[in-house]
Amino acid sequence: MEVMPHHANTHRGPAVATRPASGLVPPSTWRDGLPVVRGLGFTLRELVAADAPTLMQHLTPAEVSRFISPPPASVTGFERFIVWAQRERAAGRYACFAVVPDGEQTAVGIFQVRRLEGREGVAEWGFILGAAYWGTGIFLAGAERVVDFAFTEMGLHRLEARASVANGRGNGALAKLGAVREAVLRRSFERHGAWHDQALWTLWRDDWRERLSAPAAAGTRVH
């Protein structure tokens, strides 16, 4: 699972570049601010500073974070992460959607997509939801919208996700979405002082679009 950088100088992209490596800027305004995307029972939107306390509450319990890179350990850490996320979005390198369930005002989870430096059109993505929202359908519906956004608005053609092989829900969620388990990256992830294998799950833009345009995807049955 993708990290959530939260130190002021944490930066995994080029030191000063503000454009993708190729200089190509997708024909989209997402760099100026993420769109608000509504789903059944939830909204996806840009992260804002007010999300920090609920992100802290929902993403830091051990059952949520045990298989992922450690999230920030304080509200201040989440505030720094949100500032970083907005800066990276403006630079066209990263998009992080807050997940806000109906009836709530602030985020209980995130979907993040980060372009991989030096690999045009390829990004790593990841997702975390507070445990109270597991099994509610928010993951699948939100993921479909974020994947559409990544392929359409961000101009990507390949999305990679890494999940610890022991992460039943993470791997189950990716399989359900239709991602392909391409490989196992042996001892590739350090957590709690031990090295873990990760599954590499990928989605391809063309496969994704083909699936969406298939009759079954539209709920149409052909007899």
Ligand X SMILES: CC(C)(COP(=O)(O)OP(=O)(O)OC[C@H]1O[C@@H](n2cnc3c(N)ncnc32)[C@H](O)[C@@H]1OP(=O)(O)O)[C@@H](O)C(=O)NCCC(=O)NCCS
Q: What b/e string do you get for 52-90 counting C-beta neighbours within 10 Å, with b at 16 or more?
A: bebbbebbbeeebeebbeebbeeeebbbbbbebbbebbe
Under the criterion CB under 6 A, does residue 135 sit at the interface with ligand X? yes
What is the token pair recorded at 49? 């500073």
Nearer Cβ to ligand X (87/187): 187
Nearer Cβ to ligand X (34/173): 173
Q: How far is the CB of 56 from ligand X (least distance, A)?
A: 15
Burial bucket for residue 215 (CB in 10 Å: 0-12, 13-18, 19+): exposed
Q: How far is the CB of 202 from ligand X (least distance, A)?
A: 13
What is the token pair recorded at 223? 């007899």
Total residues in contact with ligand X, by rule CB under 6 A? 21
Nearer Cβ to ligand X (20/110): 110
Selected range binding ligand X among 92-100, 124-132, 180-188, 203-211, rule: CB under 6 A: 124-132
Contacts of ligand X in 139-178 (CB under 6 A): 139-140, 161, 163, 167-170, 172-173, 176
Report the run of H or E that residue 195 belongs to, with start and end. strand 194-204
Q: How far is the CB of 54 from ligand X (least distance, A)?
A: 14
- Locus of tokens 């790593």: 124
Selected range binding ligand X among 37-45, 62-70, 80-88, 97-105, rule: CB under 6 A: 62-70
Under the criterion CB under 6 A, does residue 128 sit at the interface with ligand X? yes
Selected range binding ligand X among 39-47, 90-98, 126-134, 215-223, rule: CB under 6 A: 126-134
Of 114, 133, 102, 22, nearest to 69 (Cα)? Answer: 114
Q: What b/e string do you get for 151-170 counting C-beta neighbours within 10 Å, with b at 16 or more?
A: bebbbbebbbbbbbbebeeb
Handedness of CA 19, 46, 111, 210 (dihedral sign): negative
Cβ atoms of residues 198 and 187 within 8 Å: no
Under the criterion CB under 6 A, does residue 113 sit at the interface with ligand X? no
Q: How far is the CB of 61 from ligand X (least distance, A)?
A: 10
Binding site for ligand X (CB under 6 A): 1, 64, 67-68, 126-129, 134-135, 139-140, 161, 163, 167-170, 172-173, 176
